[in-house]
Amino acid sequence: MVPMFSIVARSSGTGKTTVMEKLILELTQRGWKVGAVKNASREMHLDHPGKDSWRFEQAGAQAIAIITEDKAALICHTAQRWSPQDVAPLLGAVDLLIIEGYKEAKIPKVEVVRKEKGEEVVTAREDLVAVVTDVADLNVAVPVFSLEETAKLADFVEEKFIRSKASLEEFSHFDSQGRAHMVDVTAKALTLREAVAQGEISMAQETVALVKAGKMAKGDVLAVAQVAAVMGVKETSRLIPMCHPLLIGGVSTAFSLDEAAGKIEVTVKVKIKGQTGVEMEALSGVNTALLTIYDMCKAVDKNMVMGKIRLLEKRGGRSGHYLRKE
């Protein structure tokens, strides 16, 4: 079942639509697919007299679908006002359903409280999950956000409704029976994704000097390691059992030599337009480059140590932007 909640208020004119609009924009920019439902008491323009949908209904049609190149709408007769649960299956593959109104429905609610409309919270305590308000020091037993704190409200919604409701199969490499499986990403959209990983190899100062001068017996260490990083990225799905084979868009590798500290730092950035992230590919690229440096230099220095292999940054996908804080 799609996670859902409604945005309600004690009366009209409180800004529910504005809060909902800003929240949808914020969540969409983070990569989530959001469905929206408005509990309208008035006639929608879609069903306006004179419009095609209205004319079809007047002619006797019991259900009407309006389809364009990138949109679809459904109009059908119902025995009574539908609930959000009735509507949800018709909205396609969404991560979250946000409803404006439906105060009577037994679903979680975020209430908008405006000082000019009254400072009383009208939602039943068992349904209330948060409040958005311009009232200072509002005394309620749920998280409170100001009208300007859309990003913080989105953080709350992500954790409470999207991540906590995600299925085991969707976010785990184990299926419902506890067996390992490859996560199904076929329903995900193609989006731009990037990942940056870094690691280092410590060695004697003299070894770094030989690499820097290009005097290692096996040849140009960094040139070979750069090729190795690309190969490591491309071979990730063959090395890590549950990784998807990916059509990598680009790989860039950078080396930083610190002769005084006796180390070489490797940074690998991977880009793709795809359905899953490339963190593992970037990390595999770093590891392969470091192992290649070790192989190229081990004849003169067997005491080298590889370490600090980590993800620095990722962009794209449902989890949005991650930046490591050292």
Name the average pLDDT for the chain.
88
Domain for residue 184, yes or no?
A: no
Mean pLDDT of 202-215: 96
Residue that terminates a domain, selected from 151, 166, 181? 166
Domain ranges, residue 97: 4-166
Q: 137-142 long-range contacts, Cβ below 8 Å, gap at least 24? A: 138/113
Q: Contact 175/293 with Cβ under 8 angstroms? A: no
| Domain shared by 150 and 16, yes or no | yes
Q: How sure is the predictor about 83, in pLDDT bands with cuts at 50, 70 and 90? A: confident
The least confident of 22-36, 179-193, 256-270, 307-321 is 179-193
Q: How sure is the predictor about 68, in pLDDT bands with cuts at 50, 70 and 90? A: confident
**Whether residue 54 has pLDDT greater than 90:** no
| Domain shared by 14 and 160, yes or no | yes
Domain for residue 180, yes or no?
A: no
Domain for residue 173, yes or no?
A: no
| Domain shared by 256 and 295, yes or no | yes
pTM beyond 0.75? no
| Domain shared by 26 and 140, yes or no | yes
User: Distance of alpha carbon 299 from its chain centroid, rounded?
Assistant: 46
Instruction: Give the pLDDT confidence score for residue 47 in this predicted structure.
Output: 65
Q: How sure is the predictor about 146, in pLDDT bands with cuts at 50, 70 and 90? A: very high
Query: Computed over its alpha carbons, how large is the radius of gyration of the chain?
Result: 27
Instruction: Give the pLDDT confidence score for residue 48 in this predicted structure.
Output: 75
pLDDT tens string 90-138: 887 888 899 888 888 889 999 999 999 998 999 999 999 999 999 988 9
Q: How sure is the predictor about 43, in pLDDT bands with cuts at 50, 70 and 90? A: low
Query: If you count them, how many residues does the chain have?
Result: 326
Closest alpha carbon to 8 in 104, 83, 81: 104
Q: What percent of the chain has pLDDT over 70?
A: 91
Which candidate in 47, 134, 155, 295 is catalytic?
295
| 95 annotated active-site | no
Domain for residue 311, yes or no?
A: yes
Mean pLDDT of 209-236: 96
Most confident of 51-55, 80-84, 123-127: 123-127
| Domain shared by 226 and 273, yes or no | yes
| Domain shared by 208 and 100, yes or no | no
| Domain shared by 61 and 125, yes or no | yes
Domain for residue 174, yes or no?
A: no
| Domain shared by 151 and 201, yes or no | no
| Domain shared by 147 and 18, yes or no | yes
| Domain shared by 42 and 139, yes or no | yes
Q: What percent of the chain has pLDDT over 90?
A: 55
Mean pLDDT of 182-202: 88
At 53, which CATH number?
A: 3.40.50.300
| Domain shared by 36 and 154, yes or no | yes
Domain for residue 253, yes or no?
A: yes
Domain tally, the chain: 2
Instruction: Give the pLDDT confidence score for residue 58 in this predicted structure.
Output: 81
- In degrees, rounded to 5, the angle at the alpha carbon of residue 125 between the alpha carbons of residues 121 and 131 is 45
- Interatomic CA distance for residues 284 and 280, integer angstroms: 6
Domain for residue 246, yes or no?
A: yes
- Interatomic CA distance for residues 235 and 232, integer angstroms: 5
At 232, which CATH number?
A: 3.30.70.640
Q: How sure is the predictor about 235, in pLDDT bands with cuts at 50, 70 and 90? A: very high
Pairing mode, strands 191-202 and 263-274: antiparallel
Residue that terminates a domain, selected from 127, 149, 166? 166
What would the two tokens of residue 234 be?
């491309």
Residue that terminates a domain, selected from 132, 166, 200? 166
Angstrom CA distances, 182 to 91, 170, 172, 226, 272, stand at 27, 10, 9, 29, 19
**Whether residue 171 has pLDDT greater than 50:** no
Mean pLDDT of 153-166: 83
Mean pLDDT of 154-176: 68
pLDDT tens string 272-320: 999 899 999 999 999 999 999 999 999 999 999 999 999 999 998 777 7
| Domain shared by 198 and 298, yes or no | yes
Domain for residue 278, yes or no?
A: yes
Instruction: Give the pLDDT confidence score for residue 64 in this predicted structure.
Output: 78
